[in-house]
Structure 1
Amino acid sequence: MCGIAGLFDIRGKREFPRDLVQRMNDIQFHRGPDAGGVHLEPGVALAHRRLSIIDLSTGQQPLYNEDGSVAVVFNGEIYNYQELVPELERCGHRFHTRSDTEVIVHAWEEWGEACVRRFRGMFAFALWDRNRDTLFLARDRLGVKPLHYALLSDGTLAFGSELKVLMQLPGLDRTIDPCAVEEYFALGYVAEPRTIFVGAKKLGPAETLVVRRGEPVPEPKTYWDVHFTLDSPLSLEDATAELGERLRESVRLRMISDVPLGAFLSGGVDSSAVVATMAGLSAEPVNTCSIAFDDPAFNESAFAQQVAERYRTNHYVETVKADDFDLIDALAGLYDEPYADSSAIPTWRVCQLARKKVTVALSGDGGDESFGGYRRYRLHMMEERLRASLPLGVRRPMFGMLGRLYPKADWAPRVFRAKTTFQALARDSVQAYFHSVSIVRDDMRRQLYSSAFKASLGGYSAVDVFRRHAATARTDDPLALVQYLDLKTYLVGDINTKVDRASMAHSLEVREPLMDHPLVEWLATLPSGLKVKGQEGKYLFKKALEPMLSNDVLYRPKMGFSVPLARWFRGPLKARVREALLGDVLAGTGLFNPDALRHLVDAHQSGIRDYSAPLWSLLMFDAFVRNSGALGTRAEPVLMAG
């Protein structure tokens, strides 16, 4: 795993200062502490930080073709490179390393822009072809690895693995994008292609960008999508057998490494499945790492221990105190823009532990999205049956009124917490799912924002992110639609972002066998009834795993990787929350309604309501503002962007 950076003059061939390029590269030293390389020529700069994983002696980057006319800087792994090498050699290409990186330059020469369709892996890369006067940027299909870019006013196209790389450029427009703020408070992250800054973008999953000198910078192209056909005729028995084979193949490819390798083991279904599969493929004991919590309500380490004992892994556990909140400011610097998933804290800790033992760790991320594991999927399907029984014209006024009148009962048993369900039933399918996953919901955001900030949004709502993706989903199956939306939004913007930044902060490579794109494509052909059956999520996956894992691991209620925010904000973080939300920093942005901020703090700390999710979002936004210096004490920098 690595970090990449670079500059390209789209108008001419200006010389880029080496010290600027070096500064861009050094700011992401954590992504690749083993080596660094820079390529400079008129109009082009490429930079790379290397974390050595495969071909430790000759895989340095930038890496070139035979005559040096094509150069690449690459972050990630091409898992099928050993299959591609002989194919490219038969086409006349000569290899000088054992590195998967070299496959990219020769694949580009042979197949051009279509080369990415041949790669199986996680990747973000920038390739310079001098003969074609072309810069080619690409990102993997599911957005595992990040790539940011910016077009500056002087005609420079800049790119980097992290937003902090672009922030080294004096010409970057760091005006806050109000639409990005709206997306952040709705979703907990800024969705692709936006960043928090007007002047920078994220290349989306499965996108390429081809930039030719002397031509306008085009819009990115999409080279892949997942299609939920749901038309496979396989029986349950045949599907479980094929799933087992596909899982073994995906894990096997991700175990190729020239450095110590292991796995995260939370005790949940996904990570336990990966570890059990690794154990069946390895002659040596698997290295596994777990985080335990000293609060029993958040601790599932006993189940991780059970799996570790069954497969005789080298199991390493560290206990994290329930009040492990010292990372707030560190996380703000790590993510570069507001990011509100509090599980970033234990994720950071487990990556820290893993790096003490291994350089590569396999994870179970992506399983919930493809196998149908989230509880919200089952609730959405139930609501869809109710929505189908009444037209929207009837539902909207009836359930809309009930949603407004019904009290929000955070303290009550779940069966009596009907307000959110009523609100969802008053919406169409996409609006309803967006409502169910929103961190700060529509009505609360309207109260939270200042009048001036609402005006700067010009009517924009973050639900447009979901509508844009729903328009390309090509399915009206209730489960398939929300799986597709999560694969395009939550998996990329939240899960993959969290794991990439937390792992790279510790120079740890994390690999994701449940996000293998052939596996994802195949699962999309299976009927939804094989994924969610009654109240059981991941039905097929669990059936396939029954010979490998106990019922305690497979069928216990999902716990998740969370921290006790509600208690923190009424206890050890009480003063910090009050100071952050009611202090000068947030007030000085001009974004928020002070009365709404005070209500959130007072109602939560008095115990009347549980506002832990919006409070955490605001706390992390405050940390972003203080750490980035993005906003002064006035609202104009934000409002100008509207």
Structure 2
Amino acid sequence: MCGIAGIFHCGTPKPVDPRRIERMTDAMVHRGPDGGGVWTDQGVGLGHRRLSIIDIEGSPQPMLSADERAMLVFNGEIYNYRDLRRELKELGARFHTDGDSEVILAAWQKWGPACLSRLDGMFAFAIYDRTERVLFLARDRFGVKPLYMANLSDGSLAFASELKGLLAHPLLRRQADPLAVEDYLTWGYVPDHRCILKGVEKLPAGHYRLLRHGGPPAPSVQWWDIDFSGRHSGSTADLSAQLLHLMREGVESRMTADVPLGAFLSGGVDSSSVVALMADASREPVNTCSIGFDVAALDETGYARRIAERFETDHRERIVDPDDFGAVDLLAGMFDEPFADASALPTWRVCQLAREHVTVALSGDGADEAFAGYRRQVFHAREEQVRSILPQALRGPILGGLGRIWPKADWAPRPLRAKSTLQALGATGEEGYARALAVTAPEMRSQLYTDAMERQLDGYRAEQPFVELMRNAPARSGLDRAQYADLKFWLPGDILTKVDRTSMAVSLEAREPLLDHRLVEFAAGLPYGARIKGRQGKWLLKHTMERFLPRDVLYRPKQGFVTPIAEWLRGPLQNEARAIATSATIADTGWFSTSRLKRLTENHISGSADHSRLLWQLLMLDRSIGNLAITL
């Protein structure tokens, strides 16, 4: 696991100052504390920071190919590199190291961009071909590893693993993009199609870009997509056997490391499944770690402890409480862009705990997206059944109208909180699911924005690209489309960003075995009943793991990695909540009505409404703007 950076002159090749590359990589030293390197040639420069995981002594970067034709910088791991190495050696390739980096170089030289489909792993890399004079940038299927890019005023393209790498370049403009603010306020993060800074973009997951000196601007090319349009046949027993085989392969392939290895253990289905299969494949006790909370209703350490005892792991745990709020500025600095998934705080803490004992940790991320494990996916599937019975002409005016006038009663019992359901049913499936996923509804955003902000948005709403993504999905049902959007939009923008930044901040490599692409491709073809049965999502996975895990772990209501922000902002952190509305940084943007911010803050503190997620969003936005020194 590493950090990469580079500069490429797309027009006339100009000299690249190696000190500039070095400053970019030094800004990301946390991603690779074990070493670094810089290489430059006419019109190109590549930089690297290394966290040694495989072939610890033998794979320094930037790495030159055996025939000295190509140069590589690489962030990630290739899990099938040994198989590829054997195949390439049979085809005449020569190797001087024992790691996966040199395998990528040889694969590129043999197959060109088609090499990507042969790589099983998480990666973002850049290869400069010295013969063809081209730069090849690529990102893995799901976007586990990030890659930021920016076209600069001197005609060059700069790229880096994190935005802070680009911020080290003196020519990068720091002007805020108001469309990204709308995206952020909607989703709680800035999705991959946008960046908080104008002129900066992210290479999308499953895409590559091929740039040539003097050539025309090169668009990103999609090299992989997930297809939900097919369906597997076979009995439950057959499907379960296939699933278990693929899960074992995903876990065992990610246990390869030349450094200490462990796992995150929340006590939920996914992390418990990973730990169970790790214990089954390991001769030594698995290192596990858990984070809990000082609010008993949200604390799952008891379940994690049961799994640790069941598989005799070497287990450690730690508690997060309001005192951890003091680290919020550090948290904001990890992400650069505003990021308001409150579970980032405990994720960072569990990464810190893991790093005290291991260098690599496996997680259970990805299974909810692939197997329909989120409650919103189950609700959406049921709503789609209603939509199939009632035409839009009836649903829109009747159910949508009711949703508009129904009170938003956060304090009421769940059956009486029907506003969101009515609004969703009054819309199309895609619009309804966008509403279910959004942190802040469009009505609330409109209330908060100033007239000046609305003019800058010029009618844009963050739901628009999400709805288009769902409508164009290779899918057969509404559930398919929801899962597709979760895998393509939510997963890289929120979940994987959270894990990458918090783990890399402490120089820990996190791996996601349940995101093995063969496993996810299998999951995409499962029939409806293997995904959702009654009110149970992720049914086949739970059924398959019954031989390993207790039923009350498998079938208890999903809780998620929830931080007690609502309670904290009403109690020990209420002064911090009030400070958000009076923040000079927020006020200076001119984006929000200060009086409305004050009112919603007091409504939250009084308990008459739950605005905790929105307040946390504004808090993280405030910190990020200050850290980035953004111009408005």
- TM-score of the two chains, using structure 1 as the length reference: 0.97
| Distance in 1 of aligned mates of 2:267 and 2:69 | 49
How many residues end up aligned between the 2 structures?
Answer: 632
Which sits farther off after the overlay, 119-128 or 86-95?
Answer: 86-95
- 1:121 deviates by 0.4
Question: Which amino acid letter does the alignment assign opposite residue 214 of structure 2?
Answer: G
Match of 1:324, SS state, is helix
Partner of 2:103: 103
Partner of 2:372: 372
Aligned ranges for residues 478-627 of structure 1 at < 5 Å?
478-627=478-627
CA contact (8 A) 1:37 1:48 kept: yes
CA contact (8 A) 1:323 1:568 kept: no
Partner of 1:460: 460
Which sits farther off after the overlay, 301-310 or 350-359?
Answer: 301-310
Measured against aligned partners, the alpha-carbon deviations of 1:301-334 in whole angstroms (never above 9, x if no partner) come to 1111111111111111122225532221111111
CA contact (8 A) 1:191 1:465 kept: no
| Distance in 2 of aligned mates of 1:336 and 1:468 | 28
Measured against aligned partners, the alpha-carbon deviations of 1:489-544 in whole angstroms (never above 9, x if no partner) come to 11110000000000000000001001000111111111121011111111100100
| Distance in 2 of aligned mates of 1:612 and 1:628 | 24
CA contact (8 A) 1:232 1:526 kept: yes
Partner of 2:157: 157
Partner of 2:18: 18
Which sits farther off after the overlay, 73-82 or 599-608?
Answer: 599-608
- 1:153 deviates by 2.0
| Distance in 2 of aligned mates of 1:15 and 1:214 | 15
Question: Which amino acid letter does the alignment assign opposite residue 26 of structure 1?
Answer: D
| Distance in 2 of aligned mates of 1:527 and 1:231 | 6
- 1:272 deviates by 0.3
| Distance in 1 of aligned mates of 2:37 and 2:25 | 9
Partner of 1:313: 313
CA contact (8 A) 2:261 2:361 kept: yes
| Distance in 2 of aligned mates of 1:298 and 1:156 | 49
Match of 1:489, SS state, is helix
1:55 and 2:42 correspond: no
Partner of 2:392: 392
CA contact (8 A) 1:439 1:614 kept: yes
Match of 1:8, SS state, is strand
Measured against aligned partners, the alpha-carbon deviations of 1:574-604 in whole angstroms (never above 9, x if no partner) come to 1122122223211110111223212211211
1:362 and 2:374 correspond: no
CA contact (8 A) 1:230 1:528 kept: no
- 1:12 deviates by 2.2
Partner of 1:402: 402
Measured against aligned partners, the alpha-carbon deviations of 1:597-642 in whole angstroms (never above 9, x if no partner) come to 12211211121111111111111111111222114xxxxx3xxxxx
Partner of 1:640: none
Measured against aligned partners, the alpha-carbon deviations of 1:361-390 in whole angstroms (never above 9, x if no partner) come to 000000101111101111111211222222
1:65 and 2:54 correspond: no
CA contact (8 A) 1:581 1:619 kept: no
Measured against aligned partners, the alpha-carbon deviations of 1:323-348 in whole angstroms (never above 9, x if no partner) come to 53222111111101111100000000
Match of 2:71, SS state, is strand
Partner of 1:293: 293
Partner of 2:263: 263
Match of 1:127, SS state, is strand
CA contact (8 A) 1:295 1:322 kept: no
Distance verdict in 2 for CA 1:136–1:179, change over 3 Å = same
Match of 2:122, SS state, is strand
| Distance in 1 of aligned mates of 2:474 and 2:8 | 37
Deviation >4 Å, runs of 4+: none
Aligned ranges for residues 224-235 of structure 1 at < 5 Å?
224-235=224-235
| Distance in 2 of aligned mates of 1:316 and 1:94 | 44
CA contact (8 A) 1:322 1:563 kept: no
Distance verdict in 2 for CA 1:529–1:594, change over 3 Å = same
Partner of 1:630: 630
| Distance in 1 of aligned mates of 2:342 and 2:2 | 25
Partner of 2:92: 92
Partner of 1:176: 176
Question: Which amino acid letter does the alignment assign opposite residue 285 of structure 1?
Answer: P
Percent identity over the alignment? 51
- TM-score of the two chains, using structure 2 as the length reference: 0.99
1:343 and 2:355 correspond: no
Measured against aligned partners, the alpha-carbon deviations of 1:157-197 in whole angstroms (never above 9, x if no partner) come to 10000001111122212211111111100011111121111
CA contact (8 A) 2:228 2:525 kept: yes
| Distance in 1 of aligned mates of 2:393 and 2:597 | 35
Distance verdict in 2 for CA 1:54–1:622, change over 3 Å = same
Partner of 1:417: 417
Match of 2:56, SS state, is coil
| Distance in 1 of aligned mates of 2:324 and 2:234 | 47
CA contact (8 A) 2:322 2:573 kept: no
- 1:91 deviates by 1.4
Match of 2:547, SS state, is coil
- 1:298 deviates by 1.5
| Distance in 2 of aligned mates of 1:176 and 1:43 | 29
CA contact (8 A) 2:229 2:476 kept: no
Distance verdict in 2 for CA 1:241–1:385, change over 3 Å = same
Question: Which amino acid letter does the alignment assign opposite residue 532 of structure 2?
Answer: V
Mark the runs of 5 or more structure 2 residues left unpaired by the alignment.
Answer: none
CA contact (8 A) 2:434 2:467 kept: no
- 1:109 deviates by 0.5
Match of 1:249, SS state, is helix
Question: Which amino acid letter does the alignment assign opposite residue 613 of structure 1?
Answer: R
Question: Which amino acid letter does the alignment assign opposite residue 307 of structure 2?
Answer: V
CA-based RMSD: 1.1
Partner of 2:330: 330
CA contact (8 A) 1:291 1:349 kept: yes
Match of 1:38, SS state, is strand
Mark the runs of 5 or more structure 1 residues left unpaired by the alignment.
Answer: 632-636, 638-642
Question: Which amino acid letter does the alignment assign opposite residue 214 of structure 1?
Answer: G
CA contact (8 A) 2:13 2:213 kept: no
| Distance in 1 of aligned mates of 2:324 and 2:567 | 12
| Distance in 1 of aligned mates of 2:165 and 2:626 | 19
| Distance in 2 of aligned mates of 1:393 and 1:186 | 27
Aligned ranges for residues 36-55 of structure 1 at < 5 Å?
36-55=36-55
Partner of 2:208: 208
Question: Which amino acid letter does the alignment assign opposite residue 410 of structure 1?
Answer: D
Question: Which amino acid letter does the alignment assign opposite residue 272 of structure 1?
Answer: S
| Distance in 1 of aligned mates of 2:443 and 2:547 | 47
- 1:25 deviates by 0.6
Match of 2:597, SS state, is helix
Measured against aligned partners, the alpha-carbon deviations of 1:9-30 in whole angstroms (never above 9, x if no partner) come to 1122322222211110100000
| Distance in 1 of aligned mates of 2:623 and 2:417 | 32
- 1:480 deviates by 1.0
| Distance in 2 of aligned mates of 1:564 and 1:267 | 18
